Each structure stands twice: as structure tokens, then as C-alpha cells.
Chains A and B, each alone.
Chain A
Amino acid sequence: MIKKVTNHLSQNEALLFERSSPGKKAYQLPELDIPAVDAAEALGAENVRQEIAGFPEVSEVEALRHFTRLSTWNYAIDYGMYPLGSCTMKYNPRINEVVARTEGLAWAHPYQPESLSQGCMQVMACLEAALAEICGMDAVTLQPAAGAHGELTGILLIRALLEKRGNPRLKILIPDSAHGTNPATAAIAGYAVENIKSSETGGVDLTALEQLVTGDVAALMVTNPNTLGVFENNIVRVAEILHKKGAMLYMDGANMNALVGIARPGDFGVDVMHLNLHKTFSTPHGGGGPGAGPVAVKKVLEPFLPTPRLKRSGRRLAFDYKRKRSIGRVKAYYGNFGVLVRALAYIQAHGGPGLRNATMDAVLNAVYVRKALESYYDLPYQSPNMHEVVFSDDRQAKLGVRTGDIAKRLIDYGFHPYTVSFPMIVHGALMIEPTETEGKLEIDSFIDAMISIAHEIETDPQMVKNAPYNTRTSRVDEVTAARKPVLRWKPA
């Protein structure tokens, strides 16, 4: 039975361009306090455009209603549990939004004098130190804009170090359970990718690893806990195998939410890693960004970090641009500062002991979901899970219902779906990550929904295959969208 949601009216809304009428305005500029300038004269007549054909013309109230109506067509964490595995959709504290808009920070220009930027630089220095402590690493760069950008930075660091040692090597090893960004990153950094099959328990296969790690291998990119939510119990041994052959261990920190305060990658042999501040440190996903992907490294990689680096000279902070061995810049300016402010506010709110408690609740929630659902859904890997749990649709597929169908039916119950069909090593995966910011009531209601769907599949599989029913938009034809791409509005 569906308990969490009830239908209510949903406003229809046309596109901005369909609402426009010439002369409508939502703006007013101040009177110029200086003489106007003839654009054709100042810029050259040939450089001045006629008009922005098709650009919207709406009033202020229409603009506000437009976006408000559209907003109600979204599901959001603010509505309820958002159990997307690997994405760590936790509550986004609003205080973080407030402090990121503090005037002296939000209006700071990246080229204003360092003497008038000490507060911004202090925020960055504090965050660098906190992340280094959390990861057990020696140095942190905050420059990368997102996780994949951090990966690229990390792999370029490895390349720079190996180059200095005489040979950048040819290959990066990547487990078949990895995020797609890992192999895509390796390719951009100029490396060939070699996949390692996961072992029967879902971890890195040590025997395979020993065989694959040759003098050609620059690094292994590993996600720990891996995408099954399982900790790599052999991680110390994995690091040893790599280090013995002069290769490095890169850790994708997408799942760091399972480790903060419990274990530190730097202590178990990781040389370089990235963090996703928009996952572990709760900066909002915003419908797909912005994020931030700081990279933490061991001392040996520090000289290669992107330029500039923060350094302390006396009581002042300064940027050091003269770093001969740096890989260079990966982004203009210093990083997604506004995201860094939010992450630091989050760390301050929890504090050291609090972060550890959050990790424990995240794991408790995932284990609780596993216990409650394992008699209804197939659990392909039996190893103890941490912050997320991965089921397969094996039982339901026998009745013709796949993970994607179950996900769509879950929408009718008032929840966002889990992650569908990932990791690829699980056929028909249901990847569930509750995060620590779900309480018992919300999780119990999610569990009830999942059990109810399992029953529905047994009695009426076809009904589940056509879900969702209660949304304003029913199943979307993605095939036609790709076959005949319509990527912008045009007048009829």
C-alpha cells in the first residue's frame, strides 16, 4: 500500500519562449550617471547585433511562477529519502547556503590583493588541513572542480612523479566494478586502461593483480569501499604489490562516507585520492552540480600539485606560483571556493567526533536495509557491506520485471529510485545508499515500499512494468530522444 504520498494538483507551465510577448519586462536598470555611447560608433557597426532573436520577454511575476512551477516537477532530498547508491544524497544543511553568501566571501574577486583576501585564504587553509587529517594524507589541493576533475589531477600527479623517476609507464589498472569516469580519466591522461576482473567476493583479485602489475603499470585506481559497498579487506596487500613494482595506488573517494573517522586511506597505503565534497561533505547536488573534487596526496607527490599553492609566510597566507615541478593548472583561479565554504561549515557543524558518528549511522542504515530486504531481493555478494548495499533483480527478472521497472514503481511510492544497473559486475543491480541523514521512520517506509513492490511483481508483473502512474509525466521515450535529437526550442 502506498502511504508516503497522495496526489495533488500540479501546475502546467509552457516554455519561457512560448510565454513571451514583445515589450514585457522583469528588469529595470538605474539611470546612467554618465553619457550614453553610440554602440555602432564604439564597437564598429559591423560588430553590433540586431537583436537576440527568440530571447524571452516575460514579466517578473511570470518569471517567478515559471521557475516555481517547474521546481515542483522535481523530486528532492527535501521531499524524502533519495537512496541513489554511490551518490551519497544526504541532507544539505541550509546554514551552508547562508555562509557561502556572506558578502566579503561571495563578492571576493580572485584577483583582489592577497592582503584583502586573507579570510578566503584562511577558509581554504582550514579546509585543506581538515581534509588531510580525515584522509591521513600529507597535502591537499582544492583546485579540481569535481570528482572526475580530481581523478584527472591525481593521475597527472602520478604521471609527473613517474616521469621524474625516469619512466611515466603505459597503463592504469581499473577494476571492472569502477565508475566510468576512472577509465575515461586514464585515457585523457594519456594512459591505456587494463581492466581487472573482480574476485568472487567482489574485491580486487590478488592473484590477478600480481600478474598484471608489471613495469608498465603506473597505478591502480580503486574505489574503497568498492561500488558494492564492500571494504577491500586486502587493501594493505594491494598497496604492497603495487609499491613493490614502483606503481602507485589511487583511491576514488566517492565512497568516503563509509570511512570518515573510522579508517584513513593514507594509513592503508593509498598514495593519492580525490574526495567529492558534494557527496561526503554534503554540499548540495543542485540537479547535477556544482561539485568540488579536492585531491589529497602523500608527501612524495606534493611538489607536483597544481599551481598556485597556499603557503604561510609569518601570520599571512600567500599563493606560491613558482613551483617548477607542478603539473600546472587544472582550472582558472583556486577552485570552487563557494563549495569549499559549504564543506568547511559542514565539517565544523559535526566536528571530529560528530563526523565519526555520522559514518556509523550511514553504515547502520545500509546494513539495516540489507537485513530487511535480503529475503525479498537477491544479494549476489555476501560480504559485509558498509554505507550501501547492492541487490540484483535475479528473482524478479524471472517474472519479466527488471531493476529499472522496480525503480519506476518506487517513484509511485514517493521515493526517488536507487541507482539502477550499476555496478556493472552485478547483472540487474539495485544499488541502495540511505546515508546517515535518514531516520528510522523514513527508512522503514522505504523498506515497506520495496517489500510491497516485491509482492506486486508476484501478483501483477505487468502493472509494475508500466509504472510510474502517479507522476505528472509518465514513462519517457528516451529512444526517440536519442534517435531524433531536439536539443533546443524553435518557433513552430
Chain B
Amino acid sequence: MRYLPKSESERRAMLDACGVSSPEELFAHLPEGVRLNRPLNLAPGISEYEIVEYFRSRAAECATGYASFLGAGVYHHFRPVLVDTVVSRGEFLTSYTPYQAEIAQGTLTTIFEFQTMICQLTGMDVANASMYDGSTAVPEAAMMAVRATGKGRVLIAKSVHPEYREVLATYAKHQGMPVVEFGYIAESGNLDLEDLERQMDPLTGAVIIQTPNFFGIVEQVKAAAEIAHRHGALLVVVFTEAVSLGLLEPPAEADIVAGELQSFAISPSYGGPYAGIIATKGKYIRQMPGRLVGQTTDSRGNRAFCLTLSTREQHIRREKATSNICTNQALIALMATVFMTVYGKQGLRELAEQNLAKAHYLAGKLKPRFCGKFFNEFVVRAEGKSPEEINKALLKKKIIGGLPLGRFYPELADCTLLCATEMTKRADMDALAEVQA
């Protein structure tokens, strides 16, 4: 087999050195009852050519050649060529977590740069080396806020990504962390700040909002922060569309920012792998989950980096750790790092401006359901037909329409969430508008 680098004579020599006559003998100590006495019921191995063919055939059963208006947490942005060039280097691809700093300065330096750029984007003091994704960063941020305040109740806006809220519910259930939702304003799609104020109580440790929210609307971070802080809770600000940070004021009033970087050159890949982040104010560093890279020197006095503050982590603290997280998303975070480098200060802004322009062009042809300010996504009400019927008609034109919202918001069952990015073409928007309007 091509992945096993031994000739028969080498294998024989090694078996001899071990004092056994066959590989099976190496397992002779296993109790009789536990051994599998038949071959695995899996097909025999196949060649590279056949593997490529198999996955090409599967890909052909999926959408190719369609224009898409789906966003809702996963966005079609162009992936600069340099991204795959860099992450395909074996030194990044096939290395382990950088515990041995002397021979892992490549990974450590890129993570330090990543942490810095996430701070610059979000207005926070410190960011970790990445989380699994945005959805799991939310419960981690909630647990962090609860630890920091000593108050267990969590308030989360209904306009946070519905699947993120589901993940929070799963995590919170057994930790004595009641989660309560508060509403959005029916006209604007913005946070219902009065509802938030009403639902605040002295036991609330975290208020979680998203901006732009699930409907694409830019939220009032300052006002939410004021309410949360007045009641002694921390404000967690979530984002799913990282490109918006090229243009939007950073959520500097937040105590914790939890987000998803999929927009930064990470393929949609049917839902993962992506990379999440948690960033926070300096005073909460020791409550943070996940890995952190810090700057130091080596014994010759040169600048060097290493994993640090690991006394927060599971391999040291075990059941008293800040989280059970071990793996982060280093290679995916590296994709985002290369993306941020390629676009840089000017490019990320221009990219965000193009997204804004495209979405507003499309919205100009339709009637947005909410009057709140939006970035590259917005909600429209289907007129006459259901969102599902409209999407069916669009498929015939090789267009995947927006996300019908009924599955997450019964009160918006007649609505669709549409997204346009820099990759959305004018002709496709015109074609969609004809069917959708």
C-alpha cells in the first residue's frame, strides 16, 4: 500500500527484531473475546484516480454553475490565490500544535499576527488563537461572562443566528445557566432595547447580540452595552460576516467579541471547517478559553513566540479548566491571516464597500421587510407566492434564492433573507428581482 513505507524484507527484519514471526503475534495478548474474527466489511483500497473520480461524481450531484443569494452566516467571497498557496505548504499543513516552540516559530508567529489583526478589527485588547467556529464561540463567550461576573443568567437576542442559539442552549442546559431570549423590533429588525431592559435582572451575567444581525441589520452596540453594564452584566457581541468589519465601527463597547471568520477566504465547504474567534478586554484574559500565543525571547535574547497562559487550559487544570477545548483551527485561522494580509487596510474597506453597494443595488429593486440599516444582507417579503415557490422558480433560472425564514422565525414565514457579495453579478440580481418582486 502506497502509504506504508516498508518493503517485505524490512518488515521481516523488524518482526525478527521484535522476536515474533508474524504481525498477528503482536496482538496475541489481546483477550480472545475482543478480537475481530473477520475482515472489516469495507471495500478494498482504490487508486488516486478512482478517488478523484468518486468525489467528482459526488460534486456533480451538488449545485455547480448556479448563482447564489444565500448568506445567513456563510458567505461566498473570493478566495485570493495566495491563501491556498500558503496553507498547502507542508510546514503549515503537517505540523502539530506548536508546543515545541523552537521548531514551531512559523505557526506561532502567524498566530501572533492573527491575534493582533483580530484585535485591530474588533477594537478588543486580546484575541485567542481561534475557536472551532462562530457557533461554538458563543457558548464559550457566555460561560466566560458567567465566570467573570459570577452571575449565571444569559440574555440573547432573537436576532442572533438561530443555529448559534441552538448550540448555546445545548451547552447551557447542564451548567445552571438559564438562557432567555429577547426580541427585535418588528419594523426595523433592530434589537428591542425596551424588551432587553425589561428582561434584565440582577442575576444576568451576559447579554448577547449580533451585528450585523441575522437579518443583516446593523445593531446599536453602544445602547446595548449601556443597558448591560448598568445591570452589572457583560456584553457579548457576535458577528457572522467578518467582511463588515472593514467598514463598520468596531464593537469597542463590548466586553467580549465572539465571531466567525468564514468570510475570510474559508470555503463554505457545506458548513465547515471554519474558524471562530473570541476577543476581549485585557482584564478578562485569564477567563478566556482556548490557546494564546505570547511574545518572549529565546536564550540568545532574540524575539520568539510561545503558547502561554496555559494554566487556564484542560491539559493543566483538568476539570477546573476554563473550557474543555483542545484543538483550535490553526490552519483555517492561517487562511484568514493570509486573507487579511492580502486585502490589508485599504482592501478590506474596498471589499466591504463593494458588498454594501451590491446588496443596496439589489434591495433597490425589491422592498426590504425591515427599515433598519443593513450591510450585505436583508429580508424581503414574498408577494403573492411563498418563499419556497419563488425559490423553485429561481432554480429553473440556475439561481439559488435566499433563505426562507419560516424554519427559524414562524412570524416571518413569508420572508426570505437575501445576500449579495462582491461576487454577485448584476445580471443575476436583475434576474432574481424579476422573479422575487
Contact = CB atoms under 8 A, between A and B. Distances in A.
7 contacts: A27-B342, A47-B218, A329-B170, A367-B26, A384-B29, A416-B100, A478-B306
Contact of A55 (B120, B218, B299): B120
B31 interface: yes
Contact of A184 (B88, B247, B323, B349): B323
Nearest to A92: B94
A399 interface: no
Kindly name the residue among B112, B291, B341 whose own CB sees the greatest number of chain A CB atoms within 10 A: B341
A57 B344 contact: yes
B249 A47 contact: yes
A39 B353 contact: yes
Interface string A403-425: 00001100100001100001000
For the complex of A and B, 10 pairs with smallest distance between CB atoms: A333-B271, A286-B331, A104-B59, A190-B174, A78-B90, A351-B45, A352-B42, A119-B61, A119-B58, A290-B273
Contact of B102 (A151, A347, A408): A408
Given A44-B373, A290-B332, A488-B126, A105 B62 contact: yes
Contact of A291 (B275, B327, B351): B327
B135 interface: yes
Contacts of B90: 76-79
Given A56-B341, A357-B1, A103 B64 contact: yes
Contact of B341 (A66, A268, A372, A422): A66
Nearest to A67: B86
B343 A184 contact: no
Interface in B106-141: 106-107, 109-110, 112-113, 115-117, 119-121, 125-127, 129-130, 132-136
Nearest to A327: B170
B293 to A, nearest CB: 7
Contacts of B321: 180, 184, 187
A356 interface: yes
Nearest to B426: A33
Contacts of B351: 27, 29
B99 to A, nearest CB: 8
B410 interface: no
B356 A37 contact: yes
Interface in A310-345: 327-339, 341, 345
A152 to B, nearest CB: 6
Given A54-B116, A473-B105, A103 B100 contact: no
B58 A75 contact: no
Interface stretch (A108-116, A202-210, A294-302): A108-116
B300 interface: yes
Interface string A254-270: 00000011111001100
A482 B293 CA distance: 10
B80 A134 contact: no
B102 A411 contact: yes
Given A181-B314, A475-B298, 8 more contacts: A66-B341, A73-B106, A123-B58, A147-B327, A180-B317, A287-B104, A331-B132, A352-B44
Contacts of A55: 117, 120-121, 340, 344-345, 348
Contacts of A97: 88, 93
A440 to B, nearest CB: 4
Contacts of A329: 135, 163, 166-167, 169-170
A369 to B, nearest CB: 10
A439 B105 CA distance: 28
A187 B321 CA distance: 9
A438 B331 CA distance: 24
A76 to B, nearest CB: 4
A347 B34 CA distance: 23
B156 interface: no
Given A43-B375, A84-B96, A437 B135 contact: no
Interface in B226-273: 245-250, 267-273
A473 B101 contact: yes
A436 B247 contact: no
Contacts of B2: 349
Contact of A47 (B63, B66, B270, B373): B373
Nearest to B400: A112
B319 A183 contact: yes
Nearest to A13: B109
Given A193-B319, A288-B291, A95 B135 contact: no
Given A364-B26, A416-B100, A471-B103, A287 B92 contact: yes
Contacts of A438: 5
Interface string B5-29: 1100011011101110001101101
Nearest to B15: A364
B436 interface: no
B108 to A, nearest CB: 8
A106 B268 contact: yes
A462 interface: no
A422 B246 CA distance: 44
A474 B303 CA distance: 10
Contacts of A151: 324
B287 interface: no
Given A119-B62, A329-B166, A487-B115, A149 B136 contact: yes
B361 interface: yes
B382 interface: no
B102 A475 contact: yes
A287 B98 contact: yes
Interface string B264-308: 000111111101000000000100000111111111101011101
A1 interface: no
Contact of A116 (B31, B63, B109): B63
Contacts of B385: none
Contacts of B4: 357-358, 361, 436-437
Contacts of B320: 187
Contact of A477 (B249, B299, B391, B395): B299
B199 interface: no
Given A43-B356, A63-B338, A350 B97 contact: no
Contacts of A262: 27, 30, 35-36
Interface string B149-173: 0000000000001011011011101
B207 to A, nearest CB: 19
A149 B132 CA distance: 9
A145 B133 contact: yes
A25 B40 contact: no
B181 interface: no
A492 interface: no
A414 to B, nearest CB: 10
Contacts of A334: 270-272
Given A16-B113, A74-B104, A476-B306, A337 B11 contact: no
Interface in B160-195: 161, 163-164, 166-167, 169-171, 173-176
A411 to B, nearest CB: 6
A15 interface: yes
Residue of B130, B245, B353 with highest tally of chain A CB at under 10 A:
B353
A71 interface: yes
A347 B356 CA distance: 44
A166 interface: no
Interface in A177-210: 179-181, 183-190, 193
A6 interface: no
A145 B132 contact: yes
A358 B40 CA distance: 13
B98 to A, nearest CB: 6
B70 interface: yes
A454 interface: no
B248 to A, nearest CB: 6
Interface in A335-391: 335-339, 341, 345, 347-358, 360-361, 363-365, 367-368, 371-372, 383-384
Nearest to B260: A332
A269 B213 CA distance: 47
Interface string A462-481: 00001010011111111011
A214 interface: no
